[in-house]
Structure 1
Amino acid sequence: MSQHSSIALFYYLLTIAIAMVLRIMSLSPLLDVWNPDWIMLVLIYWAMAVPERFGVFAAWGIGLLTDVLTGRLLGQYGLIYALIAYFSIKEHRRLRQFPIIQQCMFVFFCLLGAQSIIFGTESMKGSNHLTLEFWYPLLSGTLMWPAVFALLRIVRLEARIA
């Protein structure tokens, strides 16, 4: 492994670790319902920015860690993140050319699909009461995408990750 690859790996892991901390961090009970899926936002960025280095298998592994971190059904986030990484990698050339508003729409539909899968698995477990608060992370994640994109782009450019 070259020094450049190890530096890139360090930044991938660092950004994922920070996203995991943000995912479980609680500022106040009122804001907890608005906490977006930071991990998915970071995964979408890395899959779109460097698809040859950050793939579906990495997203699946991070999803399994997220399942353990959040106490969800094992494999639920693994499936979600692998699917989102697949679509992000498949469309990465187009996504790079899109203006930030169109990227926000892509992120919105990714988050919508993820929330739908979570709702489906929760329904199979028998706890299928759906409140409006269930959809708040979808909105906040979409609105946070431009900031996440800009911040991770700065990290990628400063670290010279190609």
Structure 2
Amino acid sequence: MANKTGGGTIILATFLVGLMLSQMPLPQMAEWFRPEWVIMIMIYWAMALPERVGLGTAAVVGLGLDLIQGSPLGLNVISLLIICYLTLLLHKRLRMFPLVQQALMVMVLVGINQMLFNWAHSLMGTRGDSLLFLLPAVMSAFLWPWLFVILRGLRRTFRVA
């Protein structure tokens, strides 16, 4: 039997862990390689449970990420809404892909996020001309298979539906 009430707690807990991982201090050089944990978690839940995790969740999580990161208010909201919308459009197809193809799609989606952020920061004059801003997309794709297996295991263990 599915756990519809307790499932929200598991979903919320995974987003909180993602928020903590996104703020974990790293050495200066490693900052460029930080995966986009919150976006990957959003992609997983929107793909696995599109009826429970959608645009409303993306807006709330994005607002929380804006407040935690101190980024311009609404930037993470818009970014997560776009990523979540694209994931919801493709969720049936994404489910059928093997993990390697899913990882490539995660790289594209996180890359879109990174380009939005780079564009917004370049408008404010705070970013350089380097393509290093795309490294989190590569790292996110590399870590996607493991994150997918962990989140799927949590979803099945706690019967989140």
For residues 21 and 130 of structure 2, the distance between their equivalents in structure 1, rounded to whole angstroms, comes to 23
AA aligned opposite 1:125: M
Q: Which runs of 5+ in 2 are unaligned?
A: none
Q: Number of aligned pairs?
A: 160
CA distance 1:118–1:27, change in 2 (3 Å) = closer
Q: Map residues 108-119 of structure 1 onto 2, 5 A cutoff.
A: 108-119=107-118
Runs of 4+ in structure 1 off by over 6 angstroms are none
Displacement, 1:83?
0.9
Q: Which residue of structure 2 lines up, in the alignment, with residue 40 of structure 1? A: 39
**Aligned-CA RMSD value:** 1.4
Q: Which runs of 5+ in 1 are unaligned?
A: none
The percent identity for this pair of structures is: 31
Q: Which has the higher contact order (CA 8 A, sep 6+)?
A: 2
Matching of residue 97 in structure 1 with residue 64 in structure 2: no
Matching of residue 21 in structure 1 with residue 20 in structure 2: yes
Deviates more, 1:130-139 or 1:149-158: 130-139
Question: Cα deviations across residues 92-112 of structure 1 (Å, max 9, x unaligned)?
Answer: 111100111111111111011
For residues 91 and 135 of structure 1, the distance between their equivalents in structure 2, rounded to whole angstroms, comes to 22
TM, length-normalised to structure 1: 0.93
* Local SS of the residue matching 2:127: coil
Deviates more, 1:149-158 or 1:5-14: 5-14
